[in-house]
Each structure stands twice: as structure tokens, then as C-alpha cells.
Amino acid sequence: MRVRSAITSEVIEPSRTRGDNRVPIVFPSTVVPCDVRADSFPHLLKNWRQKRRLSQLDLALTSGVSQRHISFLESGRAHPSRDMILKISETLAVPLRERNSWLVAGGFAPLFRARPLDDPQMSQVMSAVRMMLANHEPFPAVAVDRSWNIRLANSSFERLTAMLGAEIWTRIGGAERNLTRLFFHPNGIRPWITNWAAIAPMLWCRAEREAEASAGEDMRQILAELRPHQDKSLFWAAEDAKLLPVLPLRIARNGVQISLFTVIATFGTAQDVTADELRIESLFPADPATEHLLRAAAGS
């Protein structure tokens, strides 16, 4: 653990007499340990700055806060105001859930609520989500949280998962229907993904990147649970593939072949933790055959 010395590096006591000689007696100064707890503000600030791969100077230039003050905040020599916490966390694009942790670490009350989806104040948000899911028919779309747990899904998505087996969610376990488990659980859909070697590393890296970017402990636990089941060599590099505009997910089961790619939408001005963590994943057909199949399934 690092420690920082007090301003005076040592304290000299007035000389004591030893016979005819006066010998100065030197005592080391008291050292003040720097606060390195994981939930301390200095640690949180430095950790998130490093997550964003910014130097103190980079953060200073971006936020308009002097580099000297940022250094003092990270060392614990300066205490942040509430406005300073909000300013720097906004500059670093810290998720709202973690901004609350910053505020608590700084001695302030949390600011951002985490309302349940059925909260009356979330009604307009959820109306927008349902509208987006419904308007995406006959193609699959799903609303997920930061751990990739499914919160809402449209009918086409339910038909797609039914094609993979009515018991698929039971086989992969978990308290929630989770997309990470759907892909990477040994009882999941891997056997039917025909371009697994190309797409699996991208999906796994995306999950790890999002868990790191959002400090998602739930996602980290899911990945830790699934990691032992993965072929380690697979994640060193993706299989060489033709560089299409987007890499599709290709599924083949019971003679049916489907090719899909995903577009992700989020709320741009979220002021609630739940809304901030909610995202819409809309799946589009990657070829005419898939489009025809999905439209026919919706009309049957």
C-alpha cells in the first residue's frame, strides 16, 4: 500500500545534552496513509480515468478542471464538491449507477433513482420501448439491461427462440432470461451457429468490454461462470472472414437457416439508472431468404 509523507519529512527534537556534546535526536515523521479503498473517491476517480485511457492532463483539458486539482483529488489532498463530482463523472461518461457511488464516496446523497419498469414515472419510457419493439415486427427485437437480461421482447423474438427449442431457457439456467448464457452456456445455441468461430470472439469481447465500461458486476459474474466452458484458443483471434459491412449471426436448425445482424439503441438523455442501462437490440435480416422467412412466420 502506498503512503504519503506529511509536508515535513522529519521532525527534529531540540538537542539533548550528552556530556559536553549536544546531539540532535531525529524522529521520523508520522506518515498519513492514502485512502486506497475501492469505494473511496480517489480510487474511483483514478480507476475510471484509467478505464477511459486518459492521462490527468487529458482529463483536465476535456473537463476544464486544472491538472493540479485532479492530481490533488486522486491523491486525497483535495475533497471534491458535489458539482465537481458530477462534472468529472459526466466528462468520463460514468454510468449513472456509478455516479451515485461517486457521490456517496464524496459524502453526498445519491442523485439518480433506479425506478422499476412499472413505476408510473417510467410509463412514457416504457411506451417508447414497446413502440419500438412492436414497430420492428416482423423482425426480432428485445430490450435488455446492462447484464443482457431480457426485460421485454416482441413476438418475432419469441418465435425465434421457440424455433431453438421451447425448453432452451430452462436448459441454460439462470434467474433471468440472459443473452450471454443463451450464446455461451454449454446447453445454449452454439451447436446451431454456423459461423461460431467468427462471431463468438466478437460477442465475448463485447460482453467483457461492456462489463468493464459500465462496472457491471452482474455481467462479470456471468462471464466468470461461463468462461470455464469456452475453448480458450477461440478467444485469441477470430477466424478470418470476408469483411462484410456487418458480421451476421447465422443459425441453422431443422433445415431452416437464418442470418441476422443487430442494431443497438439507447436513451441519449437518461436521468434514471434503469433507463440509462436499458438498450434495444433490433435484429435485421442479413439476406433476402431470412427476410422472407420472418415475414412468412409472422403472417402464419
- Give the pLDDT of the chain (300 residues) as one tens digit per residue: 444 444 333 333 444 444 445 444 443 433 344 555 778 999 999 999 999 999 999 999 999 999 999 999 999 999 999 999 999 999 999 999 999 999 999 999 999 999 999 999 999 999 999 999 999 999 999 999 999 999 999 999 999 999 888 789 999 999 999 999 999 999 999 999 999 988 898 898 888 888 887 767 889 899 999 999 888 766 665 445 555 578 899 999 989 999 999 999 999 999 999 999 999 999 999 999 999 999 999 987
Q: Write the CA distances from 23 to 17, 156, 215, integer angstroms.
A: 7, 88, 57
Helix (H, G, I), strand (E, B) or coil at 162: helix
Phi, psi (deg, nearest 5) at residue 225? -65, -40
**1-112 to CATH, choices 3.90.700.10, 1.10.260.40, 3.10.20.30, 3.40.1350.10:** 1.10.260.40
CATH architecture, domain 120-299? 2-Layer Sandwich (3.30)
Q: 156-179 burial, b for 16+ CB within 10 Å, e for fewer?
A: bbeebbebbeeebbeebeeebbbb
Domains of the chain, by residue range, sit at 1-112, 120-299
Question: Residues near 146 by Cβ (< 8 Å), separated by ≥ 6?
Answer: 95, 210, 214, 216, 218, 219, 277
> Of how many residues is the chain composed?
300
| Residue 52 burial (CB count, 10 A) | 14
